[in-house]
Each structure stands twice: as structure tokens, then as C-alpha cells.
Amino acid sequence: MVDSSAFPTGKNFRGFEPQTPLQIAANIMSSQITDRKDSFSIAGREYTSRLLVGTGKYKDLAETRDAIKASGAEIVTFALRRTNIGQSQDEPNLLDAIPPDRYTLLPNTAGCYDAKTAVRTCRLARELLDGHNLVKLEVLGDEQTLFPDVVATLEAAEELIGDGFDVMVYTNDDPVMARHLEELGCIAVMPLAAPIGSGLGIRNRLNIRTIVENAKVPILVDAGVGTASDAAVAMELGCDGVLMNTAIAAADDPILMASAMRKGIEAGREAYLAGRMPARRFASASSPLEGLFF
């Protein structure tokens, strides 16, 4: 039952017009949708934004800062081997654009082609960030495809987890490999949608869906997203989030695209929670055929 005392009932209440019961019910439903807590957990911390973003390929730190702000992201990743976070006092510091008190930093091992280099990079990140254990592991197989070397990835992940790191891991869209990485102790598995920086969108929806259905850790699509509809598809498949960089940074208007990606993530997530109608081969009339007036 609606408690009408909680709502304005006359114009003398701070100038509001009276509301009908239908309007009151609509306000309640809108509030419930808006206020519904829908978060996911990474390394024991809750996040409401399901969009994770990178910091590469922007024209300068100001554009980086503005795009990240427009995206609404709470987790920001950066390639430690290519980014200054204090190693060089004479160069712009990325942490001026993404202060650690505002964002969760996610150092990654982009540019690493063997397990040893990836592990060393993560340890350097922990030293530079005062004991920060959250990392994104990627061990690449070759420079043309930038596909993950899954054998080296397993090797690096095992060593890092044994060393106390919280590992979010980039991998291919193989459900068996995703399961192995989860069983190894990775706190999130991040299958690619398509090759890094390709913008091709999700090439294998069924595999992504299978990974999601079998996982007990967060699954985040990583790499290959090109536009907001790609992000929405990933969320409609049940992914916990999407990580992207080039799709925003390489857009004609990165700040506007960051905003579009934010909305795409939110729309896809709501569609997943709502439950889409079943796909049918033939038409189904919107209006019932029974009970016609003439």
C-alpha cells in the first residue's frame, strides 16, 4: 500500500501540484529502478560502475582525465611499461589525471611476451604503488594478433597468485581456459571479444555466454569493443563488466564516446536483468486475436 503522506498532496506544499495515484506509483517504480543496488566485487571492494577504462592513445593527460570522468569508471588500467607514474620526475605523471584517492588503479602488463617479464612488471608496480596487489595480467603471444599466450599466462598467474597478488587475467574466449584460470585463483577472468584495438565487437557470443554461465568469479570482456552497442551486447550476455581503451580514445570525440559507452553498459545491464523475450522464427501478433469487437 502506498503511504500518501510521503508525497505532496497540494499546491501549498512547496508549490507542488497534486499527484494522481498513477503518478505516485510511477514515481515509486522509477525510484526503485534508480536506487536498486547493482554492484559487483573485485578483491573485496564493491563497484557500481561496470565500465573499466584504459589510459592509452589520448592526445594528452587533460583529454585522458575528461574522458575517464565522462565514462563514470571507477577502475582505471594503465600499462606500467609505457606510463610514467613517478618513475620519471621530468615527465607528466598519470597519477595527476587519475588520483588514487578517486580511482582504483589497475596496473597491467601490456607489452609483455613472456611470463618472467610479466611477473617482474607486476612486482615493480607493487613497489611503485606502495604495496598495491591488484594487477591485470596479460602475456601476449605475438605482435600481429596480440592474442594471449595462454601457456605463459597460466605460468605467470600461478606465480603471481602465490606471491599474494590479486590477478585479473586477460585470456582468449575459451571456456576451458577460463575455468583453469579461475581454479588457479584469478579473481576475475577477462576474455577478449576480438583482437586488441580492432573494434570488431564480440566475435563469439556463445563462448562468452558459456564462460559467464560457468564462472564463480567476475567475467569482464576485455579488448575488441568498438562502439556502445558492442558494450551493450557484452552486458546482455551477462558479463559483469567491460574493459576498453581504444574504442574511446580513438573516437573522433573521446569524451562523447566515453559518455556513450557508459550508457551502453547501463542499458545492456538493465536489459540482462529484465530478461529479454525469447527469439521466435515466426511472427507473433502484439494484439490478441481473441475477443475482437468486430
How many CB atoms sit inside 10 A of residue 177's CB?
Answer: 20
- DSSP structure string for 67-107: HHHHHT-SEEEEEGGG--SSS-TTS--GGGTS-TTTSEEEE
The answer to whether residue 136 is catalytic is yes
Catalytic member of 37, 116, 136, 263: 136
Q: What is the pLDDT of residue 268?
A: 98
pLDDT value of residue 87: 73
CB-based burial label for 247 (10 Å; 0-12, 13-18, 19+): buried
> pTM value?
0.84
Half-sphere exposure of residue 23, counting CA atoms within 13 Å on the CB side?
8
Ranges under pLDDT 50 in the chain: 1-16, 31, 33-34
* Model pLDDT, residue 163: 97
What pLDDT is attached to residue 34?
47
Give residue 7's pLDDT: 33
Report how far apart the first and last C-alpha atoms of the chain are (Å, whole number).
Answer: 39
For residue 180, the model assigns a pLDDT of 98
Residue keyed to cell 551493450: 232
Q: What is the dihedral of CA 253, 256, 257, 261, to 10 degrees?
A: 170
